[in-house]
Structure 1
Amino acid sequence: MKFNNFTFKIILLLMVGRLSLYAQPYTDYIGAGHATGLTATASSTYGVSSPLKSINGSGMDSRFFEASRFMAQATLGGDSTVINPIIAKGYELWIEEQFGKTPTYILPTMNDIWEESLAARVAAGQPEEEVFGPAALHFNYAWWQANVTNHFPGKNEDLLRQRMALALSEIFVVSANSNLGDWGEAMSSYYDILIQHSFGNYRDLLKSISVSFPMGYYLSHLNNPKTNLVENIRPDENYAREIMQLFSIGLFMLNPDGTQQLDGNGFPIPTYDNNDIKEMAKIFTGLYGGDVMPCPPNCPPWWPTQPYFGLDPYFIIKTVPMLMDNDEHEPGPKTMPDGVTVINNPNNGMAEIDAAIDFLFYHQNTPPFISYRLIQRLVKSNPSPAYVQRVAAKFINNGSGVRGDFKAVIKAILLDEEARTGNYLTDPQNGMLLAPTLRYTQFCKANTLDSDLGRFWNNGYNFREATGHHPLMSPTVFNFYTPDYAPIGQITNEGLKAPEFKIHNSNTSINYINSVHGWVSPWTNPEGESGGVMYSWEGYGNTDLDSTIYLITTKFEALGENKEKLIHELDKLFTHGQMSDGTKNILRNVSDVIDQNVGLPLNAEERRHKVRFMMYFLFISPDFNILK
């Protein structure tokens, strides 16, 4: 019997409990997962180990499970070629080695992709002047090309850096949902700032983004003028507000553990007021584009040859930091939110920006504020105050007297007991809903993907529309979700936070399920490869650029007739040894339905279909979508 719609309907009936199968006697060994009815106790249950796992056989892979979970926190995903070195080296040494990996920057990749795309379209007959780009689409291509392949042999293997850069991109936000989407070089260069400083110092990062063209354009302090009362012009306050609220000190005074300080009446104490915003806005005046675009063919005589304050962004090179025009910078003293610090450096606006950034850098709020957000992006939605304080302490002093060292912060986050100790796995308040992009990358990097021409160009827009998430595509500067978001119900009632649930709704959850169906869809080409993992928009319009990325499941198909081994392998890579009995039983039922309806032995096509059906139900399960 071959696969058909009837087979799929049988599987769906199983899932909703309208069809039952009688249990079959096991004929293999007890260590193949068959320990039903047995009880085991032990003196320790550290990590993902449990005494019962020593009986059912899964305990043999405890170190692999733990390393797989670490990988899910520290990278965008990977397979056993990523996990095994973590096991061999240990977490701290692996992190240290990652600090030394060569960065994979997005801008050079984007430029290469743009040139290839442009040449192909022109060769297909499209006039060069009508080809739009490079734009956000080409940034998306480059981001996926870099991050799907950076664990391949011979690549940079900068896995931790890229995970950190993605985390930073959801704190220091710019977005293609603005005119920046027209400038792929701007978006790529901004993301490269995050990549560059991921293992650097917070203070350097804050300065770099503050004077970058993409941030200046996005939060409108590019060409921000000084006060002119005659013309009723005052400095734009947008960046002044967000650099405090979102990038450094937050809205309320914090204790070292990230909890809010309260006044005598029990109310939170604001860190700044509207007047403080006005004072900070004066700091970020006088900045303008750093260089001028080369004049195009048939150069018009009015094309600017030098950058200047007020020059339209169209003419500006988007990858060059902004410059300061001191004549357009607000003169006079500026008082910082503490009411004590006064910045007054006549005729040196950039020095005043440095002084303001130093004020924010040394503010008592900044260590717990940034630490809390990075923990949420990497490990869990509800870190304990003690966890936040331990990480913030490393932000304050890395052990060598250096403040703001991201290397020390990363180590503190990933090696903390709340990130590593298995006791937290059973805590219902532990963990996080993986952002859709992280689910996507972990799927891609743990599976085998193949592109005929080595391209992994993903347009990104389809996934963003489906799930509400994609790098540098947030709807506002407040990211896709706020750190304190909590859905109505039990999470709110227990005083917990669950940021990613902000974009997890009836629409996006169904769209995610449909996306997974596309990724694992069992239709194949003659070579046995499926399509639908990702698409470019380059395979159309008579260009010769391949647009289909294939999923290959050969490594799992060999286990197609041994459901317990197959489930175990899926658990190792995708759920880190934490696959629940409920999910395992669903996968077993899928396997049994297929075996009984198709008949054993399965041929190659039938094994492929079986593996993909089982993967489908795994990737839409809570066990995969919730990282514990």
Structure 2
Amino acid sequence: MTEIASPEKASVGETLLAEPVSPAEQSAAAPSPIAYALAATGTLALEACGGASGGSTPTPAPTPAPPPVVPMSSAQASRFLSQAAIGYSRADISSVVASGATGWINNQFSIARPQRFWDFLVANGYNAAANMNTVAGFDPMMWSQLMGSADLLRQRVGMALLDQWVVGIDGFGGSWRAFAMAAYLDILWDNAFGNYRDIMEGVSTNAAMGLFLTFLGNARANTTSGSIPDENYARELMQLFTIGLYNLNMDGTLVLSGGNPVPSYTQADVSQAARVWTGYTYAAGGGATPDRLQLPMIINAATHETGATAFLGISIPAGTDGATARRLVLDGLFNHANVPPFVSKQLIQHLVTSNPSPAYVGRVAAVFANNGSGVRGDMKSVIRAILTDSEARDDSQESSATFGKLREPVVRLVQWAKAFGVTSPTNLWPFGNTSSSANRIAQGPGRAPSVFNWFRPGYTPPGTTIASKGLVAPEFQITSEPSVIAYVNYMQSLIVNGAGEARPDYSSLTTLATDSAALLAELNLLLAANQISAATIAQMKTALDTISIATNAGILNRIQAAIVLVMASPEYLVLR
């Protein structure tokens, strides 16, 4: 494979692949047509974008008449799917054009999961004793869901939830780690269209989270030894998963006192909350099989703190059993005023735009607080509100300097696979661990390096226009000159060769390849929602026209080069 050489100068957030790369700089050997096409285009500036468990059951509302289908063009449908789907094909674009955004969302809500993560591992024999102390099966399991499943919206929302409720397989020990992760991910994916309170409950009793944030085996304070309960989960449950560091208005803006943000909790609150997360242990003994990892953790009364606990207005009387204490804490946090804006803003950031307006956050947060039928935390209503909001669907945002987001590397990879029908006939899905920033895409699903994920929601690349405008660009935290070059090189290899048995199908593009303008128009629509400018397309066309199409091999070279060029384009990388 011909690699793309590193540019001598580039500023992350300002320019990617800032210099044209000549064939001589790439290799002493003759360059491939794709490498030549990349070199010929030079590079373009990348200016980045900038059931409710705690309440009573409401009386069911009358079934409303279905909303009218709002007509969408193919470009609008592609843009919508870029926000809503983990990846999509030309047929999916046509489906959205036919049904409208709301109709497509409702259809996605009705799709049952074709296979759970746990069931994939069992069905493919990864529960063999030889795999006890390995992570065998984990990467194929992830890619089989992301690339192979038809529930495109659930996969996208599941990944957004995993970006917030982080557990990374490389961050905890023990046996059967792939199965531990499978059980954890099934909680997020199963409840992606459920209620946020149920996510809180499922995660809080899951062994993988117990291992990752070290409260499995957590014991109450010992006055003799001076030991105190582990505080990891108590802190992150508040800081990262529910209420955040500071008090928020309903529109996600900070509550200020004397011009300063007001902390939402204190260290004393963490210490009190940690008492609740004591006594947690496996539901069954023995680890010869992975089965106990699928069971919710239980509470050992002998090591659980039973003294009175109080924090953030939550009061737990002395002698309260562990399960009841957990319910009181989770209900209290779930009903905290911060939860609707805190959760809503992060979901918007993962799906639509890094810098949503306060009005956008406020509209979605209001739906989180009450779905219209008195239910708090209804994920279906929240997802629908995010994706159909006027700010998300406003086509004029495509020219905005503050709207949009850098596409996550994993989403880019899966989009390519979905667009070109990648399958894995024997379920090997041999893409492996893609976390390396030196020769992969700098992100791997389920492999976040810490509980703070691959990138933080408030990250701003320093010394950039983004920073000077007071904006955030979370995904730029894993973006650098080397990582961009690695991404282009890796995608070039996949686009040309596939990954083992997982290979793309470009047959739908064959008849277009003789007309490079038509080929680029199709790829611009399919991959970039027509957001690549005419000037950029003209550069690409000039490069593609240097590739002979006198043979079938030449036609395929032109198709592959066109896909690489589009997926390396800054106007593709930034979704608006």
TM, length-normalised to structure 2: 0.85
Distance in 2, matches of 1:458 and 1:592, equals: 32
Residue 627 to residue 181, structure 1, CA distance change in 2 (3 Å) = farther
Distance in 1, matches of 2:342 and 2:276, equals: 23
| Equivalent residue, structure 1, for 2:75 | 65
State which of 450, 454, 460 in structure 2 corresponds to 1:486: 460
Cα deviation for residue 405 of structure 1 reads: 0.5
Q: Is the 8 A contact 2:251 2:362 kept in 1?
A: yes
Q: Is the 8 A contact 1:175 1:181 kept in 2?
A: no
Q: Which moved more, 1:161-170 or 1:173-182?
A: 173-182
Q: Is the 8 A contact 1:382 1:429 kept in 2?
A: yes
Q: How does 1:38-117 map to 2 (within 5 A)?
A: 63-103=73-113, 104-115=115-126
| Equivalent residue, structure 1, for 2:534 | 581
Distance in 1, matches of 2:85 and 2:174, equals: 26
Q: Do structure 1's residue 186 and structure 2's residue 174 form an aligned pair?
A: no
Q: Do structure 1's residue 14 and structure 2's residue 40 form an aligned pair?
A: yes
Cα deviation for residue 579 of structure 1 reads: 1.5
Q: Do structure 1's residue 281 and structure 2's residue 274 form an aligned pair?
A: yes
Residue 9 to residue 406, structure 1, CA distance change in 2 (3 Å) = closer
State which of 333, 337, 342 in structure 2 corresponds to 1:369: 342
Q: Is the 8 A contact 1:327 1:347 kept in 2?
A: no
State which of 612, 615, 618 in structure 1 corresponds to 2:560: 612
Q: Do structure 1's residue 268 and structure 2's residue 278 form an aligned pair?
A: no
Q: Secondary structure at the match of 2:210?
A: helix
**Unaligned segments of structure 1, at least 5 residues:** 18-60, 119-128, 151-156, 297-314, 522-530, 535-546
Distance in 2, matches of 1:416 and 1:486, equals: 25
| Equivalent residue, structure 2, for 1:143 | 142
Q: Secondary structure at the match of 2:504?
A: strand
Q: Do structure 1's residue 166 and structure 2's residue 154 form an aligned pair?
A: no
Cα deviation for residue 511 of structure 1 reads: 0.6
| Equivalent residue, structure 1, for 2:551 | 603
Work out the percentage of aligned pairs sharing the same amino acid: 33
Q: Is the 8 A contact 1:91 1:415 kept in 2?
A: yes
Cα deviation for residue 138 of structure 1 reads: 1.1
Q: Is the 8 A contact 2:435 2:443 kept in 1?
A: no
User: Which one-letter code corresponds to 2:229 in the other structure?
Assistant: P
Residue 81 to residue 401, structure 1, CA distance change in 2 (3 Å) = same
Cα deviation for residue 149 of structure 1 reads: 1.8
Q: How does 1:457-536 map to 2 (within 5 A)?
A: 457-461=430-434, 466-488=440-462, 489-521=464-496, 531=497, 533-534=498-499
Distance in 1, matches of 2:126 and 2:244, equals: 42
Q: How does 1:57-456 map to 2 (within 5 A)?
A: 63-103=73-113, 104-115=115-126, 131-133=130-132, 135-150=134-149, 157-180=150-173, 183-263=177-257, 265-293=258-286, 317-337=292-312, 340-344=313-317, 346-451=319-424, 453=426, 455-456=428-429
| Equivalent residue, structure 1, for 2:505 | 552
Cα deviation for residue 458 of structure 1 reads: 2.6
Cα deviation for residue 9 of structure 1 reads: 7.0
Distance in 2, matches of 1:318 and 1:179, equals: 14
| Equivalent residue, structure 1, for 2:31 | 5
**Unaligned segments of structure 2, at least 5 residues:** 1-28, 44-70
Q: Is the 8 A contact 2:220 2:228 kept in 1?
A: yes
User: Which one-letter code corresponds to 2:269 in the other structure?
Assistant: D
1:79-108 per-residue CA deviation (whole Å, 9 max, x = no partner) reads 122221111111112111211110131110
Q: Secondary structure at the match of 1:114?
A: coil
Residue 471 to residue 571, structure 1, CA distance change in 2 (3 Å) = same
Distance in 1, matches of 2:225 and 2:431, equals: 48
Cα deviation for residue 556 of structure 1 reads: 1.1
User: Which one-letter code corresponds to 1:404 in the other structure?
Assistant: G
User: Which one-letter code corresponds to 1:76 in the other structure?
Assistant: I
Residue 70 to residue 222, structure 1, CA distance change in 2 (3 Å) = same
Q: Is the 8 A contact 2:285 2:292 kept in 1?
A: yes
Distance in 2, matches of 1:234 and 1:105, equals: 38
Cα deviation for residue 180 of structure 1 reads: 4.7
Distance in 1, matches of 2:326 and 2:528, equals: 46
Q: Do structure 1's residue 626 and structure 2's residue 574 form an aligned pair?
A: yes
Cα deviation for residue 316 of structure 1 reads: 8.0
Distance in 1, matches of 2:333 and 2:196, equals: 11
1:315-357 per-residue CA deviation (whole Å, 9 max, x = no partner) reads 98222110012232112211112xx432115241110011000
Q: Is the 8 A contact 1:557 1:607 kept in 2?
A: yes
Count how many residue pairs are aligned between Structure 1 and Structure 2: 517
Distance in 2, matches of 1:219 and 1:64, equals: 45
Distance in 2, matches of 1:449 and 1:295, equals: 36
Q: Secondary structure at the match of 1:241?
A: helix
TM, length-normalised to structure 1: 0.79
1:100-153 per-residue CA deviation (whole Å, 9 max, x = no partner) reads 11013111012222349x6xxxxxxxxxx6x43474341210121122222xxx
Q: Secondary structure at the match of 2:255?
A: coil
Distance in 2, matches of 1:379 and 1:276, equals: 34
Cα deviation for residue 295 of structure 1 reads: 5.3
Coordinate RMSD, CA, aligned: 2.2
Q: Secondary structure at the match of 1:329?
A: coil
Distance in 1, matches of 2:222 and 2:436, equals: 46
Cα deviation for residue 162 of structure 1 reads: 1.2
Q: Is the 8 A contact 1:110 1:138 kept in 2?
A: yes
Distance in 1, matches of 2:536 and 2:73, equals: 22
Q: Which has the higher contact order (CA 8 A, sep 6+)?
A: 2
Q: Secondary structure at the match of 2:170?
A: coil
Distance in 2, matches of 1:207 and 1:439, equals: 32
